[in-house]
Amino acid sequence: MTAAPTTALDERTIAHLRRRAARRHVAARIGLYAAAVTAALVCAGPFLWSGITAFKQDTDLYQRDNNPFIYNVNPTGEHVSYLFTDTAFATFAWNTLWVGLLVVAITLFLGLPAAYSLARLNRPWSGPLGIAIFFVYLVPPTLLFISLSRVVGVLGLQDSTWSLVLIYPTITIPVSVWLLIGFLKAIPKDIEEQAMVDGYSRLGAFVRTVVPLVFPGVVAVVVFAFTLAASEFIYALAFVSPTSEKVISTGVPTELVRGDVFFWQSLQASTVLVAVPIAFVFNLFLERFIAGFTMGAVKG
């Protein structure tokens, strides 16, 4: 006689627990999305502020009571056009682009074979040499630029952008070799051995079988080398003085900061114009970039 009420009670309890679990799940999802949106806004806040500031008029920017995130006065594009009409910003951008591409090419041309030889050729000096190569990256540029300036002067590259093409690979190659060593160790040797059995040379097996598999690591190296070449400051400041040879990292601050006068809106506009293309390209290869760094770090 008491079985039916007990069963009904159990069903109500189960239904209540299910509803509570569903509410908790919804609350957790809302909290997760709220946290993600908050983090995105915090990270994007400086960039959004730069984008808004680039179009502010002086009267809007320098009024302390004005809201910095809205246009209290009608926006203007004169500070953006100032970059291209009154400064050598386009020249800086072009110099940065071709220097970065050449540095990437040199880094891959030297880094890939070096990483492959250290990862595949069983020599007793492979491990210590790999560690020594990485330690080169840990030497601060402030200790090296004086001796490197001697090298640049002897080669006749002072005040030439080619000096940066020569110097930047000394920073990018050590890290790239270390990263690619870890990634190559994650690829079984049987793959290229089978290719050599099929008639390929070691170089042919490397190009046709290993390079496609190591592509995420190559993407990581490309992104790392290019961003470093675009953002490095000490060497660019020490070795290049003419305006026509400067890159963005030194050209923008020297052109837009004159004594105690800051062309603030134009500075922020240059930040946005440089960051948007790099961020767009970076996001195209984001998954492969992360895979390259994580696999290289885990297997290294």
Same domain? For 57 and 141 the reply is no
Residue 8: per-residue pLDDT:
59
What sign results for the dihedral spanned by CA atoms 242, 247, 252, 254? negative
The pairing of strands 261-262 and 257-258 is antiparallel
Same domain, 152 and 276: yes
Q: Tell whether 294 and 179 lie within a shared domain.
A: yes
Q: Domain check: are 35 and 130 in the same one?
A: no
Assess if residue 82 is contained within a domain. Answer: no
| CATH at residue 210 | 1.10.3720.10
Whether residues 255 and 137 fall in one domain: yes
Question: Residue 66 domain-assigned?
Answer: yes
> Does one domain contain both 135 and 10?
no
> Over the stretch 56-75, which tens digit does the pLDDT of each residue have?
888 888 888 888 888 888 88
Count: domains in the chain:
2
- Decide if 192 contacts 204 (C-beta within 8 A): no
pLDDT at 132: 76
The pLDDT confidence band at residue 6, using thresholds 50, 70 and 90, is low
Q: What's the mean pLDDT in 144-168?
A: 88
Q: Please check whether residues 181 and 100 belong to one and the same domain.
A: yes
How far is 227 from 218, CA to CA, in rounded Å? 14
| Cα dist from 193 to 53, 67, 121, 212, whole Å | 58, 65, 13, 16
Round to whole Å and give the CA distance between 270 and 251.
11
DSSP 71: -
d(CA 182, CA 238): 34
Full domain range(s) for residue 93: 87-299
Query: Residue 281 domain-assigned?
Result: yes
Same structural domain for residues 144 and 30?
no
Q: Which two tokens stand for residue 70?
A: 């809205």
What pLDDT does 299 receive? Answer: 43
pLDDT value, residue 126 = 67
Q: pLDDT at position 7, please? A: 65
State whether the Cα torsion 91-93-95-98 is positive or negative: negative
Query: Are 99 and 72 in a shared domain?
Result: no
Is 252 found in the same domain as 142? yes
> What pTM did the predictor assign?
0.78
Say how many Å lie between the first and final Cα of the chain, rounded.
70
Tens digits of per-residue pLDDT, 121-154? Answer: 777 776 677 777 777 777 777 777 788 888 888 8
